[in-house]
Amino acid sequence: MSRLALLAALPLALSAAACQPTGGESPKLERSAAGLEQVPLTIRTAAGKVHNFTVEVAASPQEQETGLMNRPSLAPDRGMIFPHEPPRMASFWMKNTLIPLDIIFVRPDGTIVNIAENTVPLSLEPVPSLEPVGAVLELAGGRTAELGIKAGDKVEWAHTSAPASAQ
């Protein structure tokens, strides 16, 4: 092979190598615009349907306090998860939240306890869990009804960050 052909092939070989995961590791998701870790999350319904989302993890107390406040929109396949370790009663409000949300309260085993659908933007009315929960998931308002997600369905997500209470 001539030097010219070798030099021409080198960038192609380097770019192909750069696209391959190394050491058997799976590619990691980027951080969100807000700087939060993003992880895949799946909801499996009792009817056997599987719905996949990418969620930001609000792990620290400050991240949990801010949540989705001041955001003008939330894509249908996106959301935010608030891990609680140890499990505890949770209550959310919509102060400074500009968009309606479905707030999903999740037991430590991943089972959905209850869902507050289409919460009212900017409301100071508390939205409580009915029992201690291991996590709270927020999705765009109306998504749970649209997808047929109900109490009793199962939430699975990658627990990669330390829970807020452990920090």
Lowest mean pLDDT of 17-31, 57-71, 106-120, 152-166, name the range.
17-31
Q: Dump strand ranges (E) for 26-164.
A: 38-44, 50-57, 78-88, 91-92, 101-106, 112-116, 127-128, 133-140, 154-157
Cβ proximity of 108 and 134 under 8 Å: yes
**pLDDT given at position 16:** 35
Q: What are phi and psi of 144, to 5 degrees?
A: -65, -40
Find the helix or strand (DSSP H, E) in which 142 lies.
Answer: none
Q: What pLDDT sits at residue 149?
A: 98
Q: Which has the higher per-residue pLDDT, 13 or 148?
A: 148
**Average pLDDT rounded to a whole number, residues 54-74:** 96
Distance, in Å, from the CA atom of 39 to the CA atom of 79, rounded to the nearest integer, reads: 10
| pLDDT, position 29 | 58
Q: What is the pLDDT of residue 30?
A: 81
Q: Band of the pLDDT at 128, cuts 50, 70, 90?
A: very high
pTM: 0.79
Per-residue confidence (pLDDT) for residue 24, from 0 to 100: 40
* β-bridge mates for residue 115, sequence order: 104
pLDDT confidence band for 43 (50 / 70 / 90): very high
Give the per-residue pLDDT at 2.
37
Q: Which residue has the higher pLDDT, 12 or 27?
A: 27
Domains, the chain, in order of start with CATH, read: 30-160 (2.60.120.1140)
Average pLDDT over residues 13-37: 54
Task: Decide if pLDDT at 26 tops 90.
Answer: no
pLDDT at res. 147: 98
